[in-house]
Chains A and B, each alone.
Chain A
Amino acid sequence: MSEKKIIKTTCKSCHGGCGVLVTVENGTIIHIEGNPDTPTLGTMCSKGLSSIQHINHPDRLKYPLKRTGKRGEGKWQRISWDEALDTIESKMKESIEKYGPSSIAVSQGTGRGYNRYTHRLARSIGTANIITPGYICHSPRLGMYGLVTGYGRLYCDYHGWGGEFPKTQISWAKQLEISSADSEMAVWFLNSLKHVKNLIVIDPRETALSSRATLWLQIRPGTDAALALGMINIIINEGLWDKEFVDNWTYGFDKLKERVQEYTPEKVAEITWLKKEDIIKAARLFAEDTPGCIQVGSSLERQANCGQTVRSIICLLGVTGNIERPGSMMSWIVPDSGLLEEFFQELPLTDEMRKGIVGSETYRMGAARTAHSDSVVKQLVNGDSVVKVWFSVGGQQILHLANTQEVLQAIHNVDFLVHADQFMGPMAEHADILLPAAHWLEMDDIYNMHPRFMIEAINKTVDPPGEAWPDNKIFNEVGRRMAPDLWFENVEKMLDYTVRKANITWKDFSKMGVLAKIGKDQIYYKYKTDYWKKGGGFPAPTGKFEFFSTVLEDMGYDALPYFQEPGESPVSTPELAKEYPLVLSTGYRQPFYFLSQYRNIPWLRSFQKDPVVQIHPDTAKEYGIEDGDWAWIESPRGRIKQKARLFPGIHPKVIMATANCFNPEEPGPLHGLLTSNPNVLTSNDHCDPMFGSPDLTALLCKVYKVE
């Protein structure tokens, strides 16, 4: 007898979390579509829909494996989960005994609802050496927003719950429309554009939205802080700032006013390659047509001046009063389940953990509760590594960290590497123990992509292949062996624990699908209430929104924002620019890939087979490159090749390479990593003084045709 059912679940093919309806007939998925009764209104993108080709993919990892040959040689032996877990336990315990708990590193890819497991596992073992891509994606914002809201979040209010939609929107180094990143959803953003008066796009190249925007600022990569400070200069000097907000609720306005005087429109135009008139226009639109919000992209955090760039943008929001006002930047009230991050925050960082964090002395904002990845790499290369055992789930540090050649050397020097993944990629190839992971269609879990106003249920629709396990089970089982008191009898009990504050069980939540605080449940203008501070105010030391940051001052950082040239640029390294005359950004993303994922999914690969570099037609002509040619892109670190796409929408002095590339079909262990991944070109030598973020999206290069 045929059995057909529709299962409600949540997609995590990217950061987003779209509601999904999956039709399963006799154990086979025959249809996937968006769930209209969720906050994402039944929409889904090509990545989530193509999950159908994930299920039954012949290359899925099905069983735990142990390495039998040399590292990266590709010789494996199937083992049981018991053997895998026993080995992991004994290696970790041995390392702790010999070198202390900080010798264990736990790493993850981009946070997709499993951050809390990574952090809890690390802390329960006694280490805070957590290697995450956070410092090049969202953490600098969280750190800087934290100085304003206490818990580190400011979101664009696209929802109109307070009666107003943003009138002026700035999309800054971001393509939210194709990414649903950093807790915002493409569908919410795009809906809000129906109400927008001015859309300002700041991007070195034209996008689907920039060509139709009110104003498009084709900025030089890496100079965004100068633009923000220039806009503040105009707003203050023209008397356009929000007097009520600034007078009553801020600290250090006069000092900021003094600081921005050096960022005149003329000077900023010269730094940023923008027209002075456009900078003035952007400043006036944002100050006059309020409320407004700024969608900040992680490209800004892939630059070694990111801390101050983000600070500058926050100050721009402050002078325009675009904080906590309906249609501006909000910190949402979380659902009744509480902040899911409490799942790991309830295990506090000890002094010993803090002391053991690699890079914590240098990068005191970024490496305060996680390791500085590039310092881990440098130590491993130098042979004086604190980290000996590396437990890696999901992400491929080998791809996303700067300077691939060094990272590769570092990975070879790790004493013991465990990696959990769905497929055999460059990171998996270098593991000692390889664990097979389940897809989101194959697991029960609770999803929140950072604490926004809702959590969502991921409900299992089919069994994983072979003996693949969901991430939460892998973490729980390793946790139970390493710190039995701090982990759970089984995954269901762990999920019950996660939603306990809402007085529900996992089974209840599984049926509910979404738990949210929306509409009237949200509180605007929290600083005018007792929410953060009795009598009103912000959760900062002065009780005000701090233009002059007393926290940063105490830490010995500049308390006021400033602009610094990227480590490599036509201005900071003019001699180098003679040999490498073009500005290189590695920020190009396609809507059908997600970071390093999905180049092995046939439907998605059909949209674009080869990694593409965008070059202006005039520049291409100068270097003898035609559309469709393979082009070498060379920096002082090395060279890669990508296919040239002549694109009149990019600045002639900038080229944009596709990020995070490898070709799954090419032979291991590297799968074409060294010939296509732009991090072969990037540098880990100059990093942001606060967060340690390296320059990935603002460097120098030259291009020439592959003969």
Chain B
Amino acid sequence: MRWGMAVDLTQCVRCYACVAACRIEHFLPMGMSWPRLVAMETGGDSPTVSTYSVRCNQCQNAPCVEVCPTGATYQREDGIVVIDQDKCVGCRYCIIACPYQNRTFLSKDKDKGFFPGRVETDFEKAGKKLYRHQVGTTEKCNFCVERIDAGLAKGLKPGVDREATPACVNTCPAQALTFGDLDDPNSEISRLIKEKNGFQLHPEYDTDPSVYFIDGKIGYSDEPELRDDSRQEPASAGAER
């Protein structure tokens, strides 16, 4: 069992719905974003801009787990990398270690509220009771582990049953996100990665991410050639467009 996600860039329309759904699902503080859209310029003779929906890659050889001095960051049996906020001391080694820059330290200035100094909304008040965010610790995408665990306990299948599937996957108007078990060769995600040449970001880092990307042409055009630059990775620190 290894949970994974595929982001189909031929379907993704860069609408930020995944980001918004995550913010609601986890009552994220105003300055916090677990998934992000990262833009990069492609190379070649006719360069253009592409944008990737990125989040924690839940690497199987996760550098963040290796460097964590307290064991706050650890990997579950199902491959998901999680952070125990009670053990995190905010040393931020993991932020430096993550080659994809997918971790964020929750500082005080990132937790100012929607309308700082004016009003605390009912939604924010409710969020404080329903989902913990500890200033001084590090956060990142957890593949909506709460939904997965609660769903599995009810006998539901993550990636198939909505209740057990990450919020970003459910909301995507382009249905560009696919979630499922990478260890199961018959799962939708495994089939998609195989059929459409799914690729991981920066394989040279040897981290074995659980998030895959798919790119190519739309349609079954009789011109078979794929763009040569279609498999480039985003620059690690691209500007958000």
Give A contacts to B, CB under 8 Å: 25, 27-34, 36, 40-46, 49-50, 52-53, 55-58, 175, 177-178, 180, 186-187, 190-191, 193, 196-199, 206, 208-209, 211-214, 591-592, 602-603, 606-608, 645, 647-649
Contacts and interface: CB of A to CB of B under 8 A. Distances in A.
Interface string B41-72: 10000111111000000000000000000000
B197 interface: no
A58 B118 contact: yes
B167 to A, nearest CB: 7
Nearest to A31: B24
B150 interface: no
Contact of A197 (B30, B126, B219): B219
Interface stretch (B86-94, B95-103, B171-179, B201-209): B171-179
Contact of A211 (B19, B48, B171): B48
A213 B13 contact: no
Contacts of A592: 15-16, 20
Nearest to B162: A36
Contact of A49 (B20, B114, B162, B175): B20
Nearest to A168: B219
Contact of A648 (B17, B49, B114, B216): B49
Contact of A190 (B11, B21, B220): B11
B46 A648 contact: yes
Contacts of A40: 173
Contacts of A175: 13
Contact of B24 (A32, A212, A214): A32
B153 interface: no
Contacts of B33: 606
B158 to A, nearest CB: 15
A33 B15 contact: no
A618 B17 CA distance: 33
Contacts of B10: 212
Contact of B218 (A28, A56, A213, A602): A213
Contact of A43 (B24, B121, B130, B172): B172
A648 B167 CA distance: 33
Contacts of A28: 122-123, 125-126
Nearest to A56: B121
Given A30-B130, A46-B19, A53-B121, 7 more contacts: A36-B170, A43-B173, A45-B20, A50-B20, A187-B173, A208-B14, A208-B51
B214 to A, nearest CB: 11
Contacts of B237: none
B6 interface: no
B217 interface: yes
Nearest to A628: B239
Nearest to A215: B221
28 contacts: A25-B126, A28-B122, A29-B123, A30-B123, A30-B127, A30-B130, A32-B24, A34-B171, A41-B175, A43-B17, A43-B170, A44-B21, A49-B21, A53-B123, A187-B173, A187-B174, A190-B174, A190-B175, A193-B218, A197-B219, A212-B9, A213-B219, A214-B217, A591-B14, A592-B16, A592-B20, A606-B30, A608-B241
B12 interface: yes
A45 B58 CA distance: 25
Contacts of B195: none
B15 A46 contact: yes
Contacts of B118: 58
Contacts of A606: 30, 33
B123 A56 contact: yes
B17 A45 contact: yes
Interface in B210-233: 215-221, 223, 227
A190 B172 CA distance: 11
Interface of B is mostly: loop
A43 B216 contact: no
A191 B24 CA distance: 25
B48 A649 contact: yes
Given A30-B130, A602-B30, A49 B17 contact: yes
Contacts of A30: 123, 126-127, 130
Nearest to A190: B174
Interface of B: 9-17, 19-21, 23-25, 30, 33, 37, 41, 46-51, 114-115, 118-119, 121-123, 125-127, 130, 162, 167, 170-175, 215-221, 223, 227, 240-241
A180 B162 CA distance: 23
B173 A44 contact: yes
Nearest to B117: A58
B12 A602 contact: no
Contact of A178 (B15, B125, B130, B220): B15
A608 B219 CA distance: 31
A455 to B, nearest CB: 21
Contacts of A191: 175
Contacts of A43: 17, 170-173, 175
A53 B218 contact: no
Given A53-B121, A603-B23, A46 B174 contact: no
Contacts of B37: 607
A199 B15 CA distance: 20
Contacts of B119: 56, 58
A198 B218 CA distance: 8
Nearest to A600: B115
Nearest to B226: A212
Please indicate which of the listed interface residues A52, A177, A197, A608 has the most CB atoms of chain B within 10 Å of its own CB: A52
Contacts of A31: 24-25
Please indicate which of the listed interface residues A44, A49, A175, A197 has the most CB atoms of chain B within 10 Å of its own CB: A49
A9 to B, nearest CB: 16
A466 B121 CA distance: 15
Contact of A209 (B21, B172, B218): B218
A650 to B, nearest CB: 10
A198 B15 contact: no
Please indicate which of the listed interface residues A28, A178, A212 has the most CB atoms of chain B within 10 Å of its own CB: A212
A186 B13 contact: yes
Nearest to B171: A44
A389 to B, nearest CB: 36
Contacts of B48: 206, 211, 648-649
B210 to A, nearest CB: 23
Contacts of B19: 46, 607
Contacts of B241: 608, 645
A208 B13 contact: yes
Given A31-B24, A46-B20, A190-B175, A591 B13 contact: yes
Nearest to B33: A606
A398 B182 CA distance: 54
Nearest to A188: B173
A22 B238 CA distance: 35
A449 B131 CA distance: 37
Contacts of B121: 52-53, 55-57
Contacts of B217: 212-214
A647 B49 CA distance: 7
B11 to A, nearest CB: 6
B174 A33 contact: no
A45 B218 contact: no
A186 B173 contact: yes
Contacts of B23: 49, 603
Contacts of B127: 30
Given A33-B21, A212-B10, A591-B16, A196 B218 contact: yes
Contacts of B50: 211
A32 B46 CA distance: 41
B78 to A, nearest CB: 24
Contact of B115 (A29, A187, A602): A602
A172 to B, nearest CB: 16
Please indicate which of the listed interface residues A28, A57, A211, A602 has the most CB atoms of chain B within 10 Å of its own CB: A211
B142 to A, nearest CB: 17
